[in-house]
Structure 1
Amino acid sequence: MTAATPSPVPVDLDTLRTVAAGAYYDPHAVLGPHVGDGAVTIRTLRPLADSVVVVTPDARVAAWHEVDGIWCALVPGATVPDYRIEVTYGTTTTIVDDPYRYLPTVQELDRHLVREGRHEQLWQVLGANVRSYSGLMGEVRGTSFAVWAPNARAVRVVGDFNHWQGAMHAMRSLGDSGIWELFAPGIEAGARYKFEILGRDGSWRQKADPLAKGTEVPPATASVVVESRYEWSDEAWLAARSQRDPHTGPMSVYEVHLGSWRRGLSYRDLAHQLTEHVLELGFTHVEMMPVAEHPFGGSWGYQVSSYYAPTSRFGHPDDFRYLVDCLHRAGIGVIVDWVPAHFPKDEWALAQFDGTALYEHPDPLLGEHPDWGTYVFNFGRPEVRNFLVANATYWLEEFHIDGLRVDAVASMLYLDYSRQPGQWRPNQYGGRENLDAISFLQETNATAYRRTPGIMMVAEESTAWPGVTAPTSAGGLGFGLKWNMGWMNDTLRYLSEEPINRRYHHHEITFSMVYAYSEHFVLPISHDEVVHGKGALYERMPGDHWQKLAGIRGLYAYQWTHPGKQLLFMGQEFAQQGEWAEGRSLDWHLLDDPWHRGVMQALRDLNSVYLQTPALWKLDHTPDGFQWLASDEAGLNLLAYARYAPDAPTAVVVVNFAGVPHEGWRLPLPHGGTWREVYNSDSEVYGGSGVGNLGAVVAEAVAHYGRDWSASIRVPPLGAVIFVADEAGPGHELGTAHAG
């Protein structure tokens, strides 16, 4: 009896043709190896080939053409061998690997976590990840592609490796997870690609990878396969960071827009030049405006298209790692702006990703920002929330970022944000609170703090929403710090007045202490305050050149000694005269002017005094750290207050917003002894008039403003002086305030 000849695993003609077109939802069910009828059927898609041979470690098996470029071979046996495909086109023969012989790279647990919205390292599963496999025929390197597109009919990968024709790289659907997956041998780091998605409407759309780790330089829009080879050198920084609480330590932040600090610099250029500058100034942290890829430079990074890719404008993602590493090795923390509130409508990016409202909320009353012309994320959808929460952990873990400043939090919290009646939809209880966004922010903060000890989450939140920095366990949003927009607005409005008129606005400069401990605050003078016609700080200060610079030096001393952390936008350290523009460098030539250099020297010395004086930062978030010594000297435009810290000398600050000095003004003091003048913004070294107190004053037993001790001092015009007690005093009544 003769054994029957094995037959190939059957597939109907329509399915074969759909597979050949790259439009089948499960190409692995047809292509690749399939065991049956005493042999292994191997099908491969090789359009226009003249011949195809399946090569195993033991044999060469010729394939025959079935239909539309699909070739079929039968390999004897019941076990799938390691194999390659030998393809001949005319006189050219090549040996290639078969993407359809590999098991899924996204495991069932991963798919479950994605469905539940709980995959905290999503970037290791979705997107493009370089992998290698060993076999009898040698090691195989390639890239696994995976994308969430639950409403797609088919998905394929297109790129420069297949001439942007994706039929030979069609992906398989992984069921109800909505994930499509393919391992593509031979595709290495540097390859450009997109996903080509067949929507339910029958249209193909080419989309950038939502989890791409790299991109082309805009205006080009393809994603780029990235494999990090960076070796970090900041182990000491990370170890120390994990042991400290950044919210209670000293914190002065230099905010920078990488593209315009000095035009034309790469990440590696910035690593040296920016680090040197910030180190010289004595800031503790750098805050970078958004570095995630964005198509339009004029958005300053606030309209993000690739949330997992540092912008390619300045180099490779590993070059960005080098920048962070250099800052860390210099002892400087790194905060990055993060923008989960909205995303642009570019058709090649997240918008209508699989032909439906996927990342954006499908209801236009909930899913669009009328002011910004952008989409709003569907914060209630588990996979979308997961995309964003994992993105926060991605920046913290993959790039060693020390904190995220979350942009436009208010726009997420309120359903009626910037909307008129009839343009928004109430929540299930009839209120204006966005319950899904609140839950998302709480989850993001809780996850970030749990996974990465020592980091900080900072909210740019411009309303009086309660509990922004309260723990999530107490119903708060769970941020560590919040920008104090009220302080910023009141202070800059007050300083815009002529000194002679400031007496009528004195409450504006003292009001911040009424609510200073309602949240854990950062005091910002940010990029938003030096654009859009507002002018630089220099332009907003009244008076002549000398008075403007004196006013700026005095403002910084007030800001650095007020309860809360500090943030200053680049260029203001030397009193840039013109408004910031992202298309040009800062006006570094101003440092040729000794008075502008004086402002920078004053800020450098102020940072030094700040770091050496725990009373100025140790108790920023509790009333125990502050007392008014004189708060109602409106006629003199003057403030005096004390700052305290446990087991540390007390600091006393006097700020004069008047354009004239005050000679012989009696300063009430917390206790007796010698008080050293450790900082004077009016020092002649800075370009000031030199009105000071010869280095120290001695307290006299002269009662004044309810204090038993006082001293007669000279108060400089438009300036501030800081005194520090020679030794820790006998203590004070914690939490009380003494107004003059």
Structure 2
Amino acid sequence: MTSLSLRLKFSLYPHNRKFHFQPQSEFQIITFPRKVKLKISCSATNPQQQEEKRRGNNPKKKKKNVAGSEKGVDPVGFLTKLDITHKAFAQFLRERHKSLKDLKDEIFNRHLNLQEMASGYEILGMHRNVEHRVDYMDWASGARYCSLVGNFNGWSPTENAAREGHFGHDDYGYWFIILEDKLREGEKPDELYFQQYNYVDDYDKGDSVTIEEVLERADDEYWEPGEDRFIKNRFELPAKLYEQLFGPNGPQTIEELGEIPDPETRYKAWKEQHKDDPPTNLPPFDVIDDGKDHDIFDVVADPVWQEKFRAKKPPLPYWMETRKGRKAWLKKYTPGIPHGSKYRVYFNTTDGPLERVPAWATYVQPDAAGKQAYAIHWEPPPECAYKWKNMSPKVPKYLRIYECHVGISGSETRISSFNDFIEKVLPHVREAGYNAIQLIGIAEHKDYHTVGYRVTNFYAVSSRYGTPDDFKRLVDEAHGLGLLVFLDIVHSYSAADEMIGLSRYDGLNDCYFHSGKRGHHRHWGTRMFNYGDLEVLHFLLSNLNWWVVEYKIDGFQFHSLASMLYTHNGFASFTGDLDEYCNQYVDREALMYLILANEILHALHPNIITIAEDATFYPGLCEPTSQGGLGFDYYVNLSASEMWLSLLDNTPEREWSMTKVISTLVGNRQYADKMVMYAENHNQSISGGKSFAEILFGRIQENSPHSEELLLRGCSLHKMIRLITCTVAGRGYLNFMGNEFGHPKRVEFPMASNNFSFSLANRRWDLLANGGMYQDLFFFDKDLMKLDKNERVLSRGFPNVHHVNETNKVISYLRGPLLFICNFHPTESYERYSVGVDEAGEYQIILNTDERKYGGQGLIKEDQYIQRSISRRVDGLRNCLEVPLPSRTAQVYKLTRILRV
């Protein structure tokens, strides 16, 4: 926090913005790597020096830093664990660790701790102050003048503006504006200059209690007889003491004072002088000799009086009773900026005036006609504000994620709302068996066709779907159904729009972004953040915390890490050589931002889940930050979906490589425990792409001679691809909305190229109600999710892939007590196919892709569902099963009975 914002934090915001009236200084104490405990302190002393002083170390005699010398910290720890030897990358990690320490030291020079670094939303932007006013703070280092313009309360943007030297432009470029509530006609100003109002409660004691009554009550109930006289005149007590020491005509100058006797002599003289004094109500004190050289006398209070004093309550509650309630405030004042008011921030720069949508705005309405947007002040009255009902579900050990886009979630050819999503999609997700939803396109974006990835306002939910309270209801209802809620967060780049976004925010520089070519994405036309600027870190880290605190979000998928990690934005060939991850194209500042983000999120919100979307498989994505990693909980395996797309669209089935399939799905064994797998997500069907269903079913002509055969092929591959992708590796599985039942069409947002049509920007939920192929595919996906829920497939260890046959196109693997067998051959069926198993016993089919209820042929009969192992070594295992294996089918067997040989 800057010096200006720090002053304002303590002077202008004595209470938090939720109006519970708890002192802001009562922060939660949190623990970060490198800090034992971070406590709020107003001292200007460096927090690191404070910590060393507490431990008994002398910060002035600080030893030379050695990378990895901190307790439990090893900058190259994950390389050692993985037995990787690469001097250049190890040196890169050590240098990055040192740079991170320097960055934290710089942060602590401007912020009290890392927690406050992520709390910018508490002071930046528009906030209600308890002293009948609204305060606005913004950061624009290139502006010379700052004001607000809008449709609120006749407020003057020129008289109450922030100018240099007047509420603005401190050393860090902050501007501060006060919007006083307007006194209603006929009302008189408050007697107290700092009269405070409780804007949440209708009435409290302050509505009927005057300041005189409060003072009288304090006199009667708090002060003891004889004590209250000293509050009349604050000089009376020291004057009385001086008179007792030196008499009424005591010395007036230092020269007249002369030599002062030692404390023991003065004490004995005072004791003799007052030995016959009558009893008094003042606290009794005495002194004793404790044997110390520095001062032989210590003041000791009477124990009875001490206990009585500790039991006293401070007079603060009496003063608090002067706070008035909401109805009293509305009766006397018109709010400085009423709920729903539209406003923009005005900057006067050396190049002329500018109007911008505030960077920290929490609700924005982009103008569809191309006119400049407004921020909307969102402060509904308490009776209208959303009230949370449900707690977040317990974090599971494995994730079944249903990826959604609210706008296209309806069947109608229009933009769906948060309320539509609650009514139509959430019950479907619960029925389908997923335990989390991941929302894309939630933050405000001007252009709908960008899917929400070109964010313009990072703190605002998109107004095209509803209000902030509508989104709170969506999250709350999801929690009530037992679903976690994740956001696909876009901190890798930002929209280039200047009228509503952050680009050239103050007109004179690139505040939030790099200047020159580095500040622009090479292919997407977006702006690239300058992660080395503390204010950018303040903005982005606070944004993450904002979504968790304000909307109770359970986790984030960090979108397109490759765009931010490399100056070439990830558009380069990667061979897996570690040199590619530590060369001149790597953005170290972006890496340090991700480390800070994971450290702060996991410290403030221990149950938070962070997922990395990175096609380059940057080393250490999911390793602890204390061991040189980036600290993510999971990462998304992007290569699996690209492989399936290539096979389906370009490769005949007879040429599919089973070795390539399994190596792509399993990936690097060291990282398999952290993978989130998906067969296809929204990327496969947006902006000209095709969904798998469109590839498999799109060319089939109804009533053609081979239509039934082609449908059977498409359904079979659709189920098999999902089964093996979900179960072969990883701790998570992701599916995009509608793909679970083979949605027949791709997604295409309205844009100029399709004449702004909504025909493909929706989901055909009606297909499920009509039965047939789509319902069959949904039943299979539902049972696949049930299989994971009942058998905990995703939570089990790395699979034993013991059978990969290129000729027969068969893959078999063991995961826990489950045996998976997949026959991808387009024509060959096997009556008794041998695969190895660990345990001798009886195995029963618990999932079969060829069942008729899933749209299959039902070739395996009921009496074949239980198979007994044979004592014969196959696939390097002691026992084997001989199972029926029709073409393009997959089965899951479970060991139900162990046979002792």
Q: Please, what TM-score do these two structures have when normalized by structure 1?
A: 0.75
Partner AA of 1:252 in structure 2: R
Establish whether residue 598 from structure 1 lines up as the match of residue 776 from structure 2: yes
1:639 and 2:811 matched: yes
Rounded Cα–Cα distance in structure 1 between residues aligned with 2:178 and 2:873: 81
Between the aligned partners of 1:521 and 1:337, the Cα distance in structure 2 is: 17
Change (3 A) 1:638 1:163: farther
SS at the partner of 2:365?
coil
Q: Using the TM superposition, give the Cα deviation of residue 728 of structure 1 relative to its aligned residue in structure 2, in angstroms.
A: 8.3
Give the superposition deviation at 1:506.
4.0
Aligned-residue offset at 1:130: 2.5
Q: How far off is 1:727 after superposition?
A: 6.0
Secondary structure of the corresponding residue to residue 840 of structure 2: coil
- 1:294 Cα shift? 0.4
| Of 547-556 and 218-227, the range deviating more from structure 2 | 218-227
CA distance in 1, matches of 2:345, 2:878: 75
Unaligned runs of 5+ in 1: 1-24, 26-108, 134-139, 645-649, 731-740
Counterpart of 2:725 in structure 1 is 559
Tell me which residue corresponds to 1:272. 423
Q: Offset of 1:460 from its aligned partner?
A: 1.0
Is residue 369 of structure 2 the alignment partner of residue 199 of structure 1?
Answer: no
Match of residue 379 from structure 1: 531
How far apart, in 2, do the equivalents of 1:588 and 1:704 lie?
A: 46
What do residues 2-38 of structure 1 show as CA deviations (whole Å, max 9, x unaligned)?
xxxxxxxxxxxxxxxxxxxxxxx9xxxxxxxxxxxxx
Change over 3 Å in CA distance of 1:323–1:447 after alignment to 2: same
Q: Residue 122 of structure 2 corresponds to which residue in structure 1? A: 124
**Structure possessing the higher relative contact order (Cα contacts under 8 Å, 6 or more residues apart):** 2
Q: Partner amino acid for 2:690?
A: G
Whether the 8 Å CA contact 1:304–1:344 is kept in 2: the answer is: yes
Matched residues in 2 for 1:464 and 1:301: separation?
24
CA drift at 1:472: 1.2
Counting only pairs closer than 5 Å after superposition, residues 154-553 of structure 1 correspond to structure 2 as: 154-161=145-152, 166-171=157-162, 172-173=167-168, 175-184=170-179, 185=181, 186=335, 187-201=337-351, 203-219=352-368, 221-227=373-379, 229-235=385-391, 237=392, 240-241=394-395, 246=396, 249-262=397-410, 263-348=414-499, 349-417=501-569, 431-496=584-649, 500-504=653-657, 506-518=659-671, 520-524=674-678, 525-541=680-696, 544-553=710-719
- The DSSP-based 3-state class of the residue aligned with 1:712 is strand
Superposed CA offset, 1:486-538 (max 9, x none):
22222332344666423556424434335143362111321111223331111
The match for 2:840 is 672
- Sort the Cα spacing of 1:155 and 1:570 in 2 relative to 1 into closer, same or farther, 3 A: same
For the 8 Å contact 1:499–1:659, the answer to whether it is kept is: no
Secondary structure of the equivalent of 1:322?
A: helix
Deviation, structure 1 residue 174: 5.5
Change (3 A) 1:173 1:117: farther
The equivalent residue for 2:785 is 607
1:721 and 1:588 map into 2 onto residues whose CA distance is 28
TM-aligned CA distance change 1:497 to 1:637, over 3 Å: farther
Provide closer, same or farther for how the CA distance between residues 468 and 693 of structure 1 changes in structure 2, counting only shifts above 3 A: farther
1:655 aligns with 2:827: no
Amino acid at match of 1:590: L
Amino acid at match of 2:356: K
2:875, 2:142 → 1: CA distance? 72
Deviation digits for residues 76-108 of structure 1, max 9, x if unmatched?
xxxxxxxxxxxxxxxxxxxxxxxxxxxxxxxxx
- The aligned residue for residue 77 of structure 1 is none
* Distance (Å, rounded) in 2 between the aligned partners of 1:704 and 1:505: 19
Question: Against the structure 1 CA distance between its residues 373 and 514, is the aligned structure 2 distance closer, same or farther, given a 3 Å change threshold?
Answer: closer
Aligned-pair distance for 1:275?
1.1
* Secondary structure, aligned partner of 2:428: helix
Indicate if the aligned counterparts of 1:129 and 1:227 stay in contact, CA closer than 8 A.
Answer: no
Q: Provide the rounded CA distance (Å) in 1 between the counterparts of 2:543 and 2:600.
A: 11
- Offset of residue 163 of structure 1: 6.8
**Partners of 2:621 and 2:635 within 8 A in 1:** yes
Deviations 1:637-666 (A, max 9, x none): 11100012xxxxx11111122223332111
| Residues in 2 aligned to 1:533 and 1:318: alpha-carbon distance in whole angstroms | 35
For residues 365 and 775 of structure 2, what CA distance do their matches in structure 1 show? Answer: 40
Q: CA deviation at 1:110?
A: 12
Which amino acid is the alignment partner of residue 496 of structure 2?
K
**What CA distance in whole angstroms lies between the structure 1 residues aligned with 2:363 and 2:405?**
20
Alignment of 1:102-113 (within 5 A): 112-113=110-111
- Within 2, Cα distance between the matches of 1:726 and 1:319? 48
| Aligned-partner Cα distance in 2 for 1:546–1:281 | 23
**C-alpha distance in structure 2 between counterparts of 1:351 and 1:726, whole Å:** 62
Q: Tell me how far 1:114 sits from its aligned partner.
A: 9.4
Q: Residue deviations 1:462-491, cap 9 Å, x none?
A: 113211111111221211111111222223
Structure 2 unpaired stretches of 5+ = 5-106, 182-334, 574-578, 698-708, 750-757
Q: CA deviation at 1:223?
A: 0.6
CA contact (8 A) 1:682 1:717 kept: no
Q: Residue type matched to 1:634 in 2?
A: E
Q: Give 1:179 shift.
A: 1.5
1:189 Cα offset (Å): 2.1
Aligned to 1:80: none
% identity of equivalent residues: 24
Q: Residues of 1 paired with 2:388 and 2:432: CA distance?
A: 25
Q: Return the alpha-carbon distance in structure 2 between the equivalents of residues 116 and 446 of structure 1.
A: 9
- Secondary structure of the 1:144 match is strand
* Deviates most, 406-415 or 356-365: 356-365
Secondary structure, aligned partner of 1:724 = strand
On the 8 A contact 1:129/1:226 being kept in 2, the answer is no
* Matched pairs, number: 591
Shift, 1:601, TM fit: 0.7
Aligned Cα root-mean-square deviation (Å): 2.8
Aligned partner (choices 797, 803, 816) of residue 630 of structure 1: 803
Q: Which amino acid aligns with 2:733?
A: Q
**Structure 2 counterpart SS, 1:177:** coil
Q: TM-score normalised to the size of structure 2?
A: 0.62
Residues 298 and 409 of structure 1, relative CA distance in 2, 3 Å threshold = same
User: Is 1:718 the equivalent of 2:874?
Assistant: no
User: Residue in 2 aligned with 1:705?
Assistant: 875
Q: Does 1:586 align with 2:763?
A: yes
CA shift in 2, pair 1:312/1:301, >3 Å: same
| SS of residue paired to 2:130 | strand
Deviation readout 1:168-220 (Å, 9 max, x if unpaired) = 4413206223221123122122111110011132x111111111111125436
Task: Judge conservation of contact 1:359–1:377 (CA < 8 Å) in 2.
Answer: no
Contact 2:839 2:898 in 1 (8 A): no
- Larger helix percent: 2
TM-superposed CA distance for 1:230, in Å, is: 2.3
Aligned residue number for residue 859 of structure 2: 691
Give the 3-state SS of the residue equivalent to 1:636 in structure 2.
coil
Deviation, 1:343, is 1.1
What CA distance in whole angstroms lies between the structure 2 residues aligned with 1:518 and 1:557? 21
Contact 1:114 1:177 in 2 (8 A): no
Q: How far apart in 1 are the matches of 2:481 and 2:589? A: 40
Q: Deviations over 1:268-327 (max 9, x none)?
A: 231232110101111111111120000000011001111001111111101101001101
| Distance in 2, Cα, partners of 1:200 & 1:304 | 28
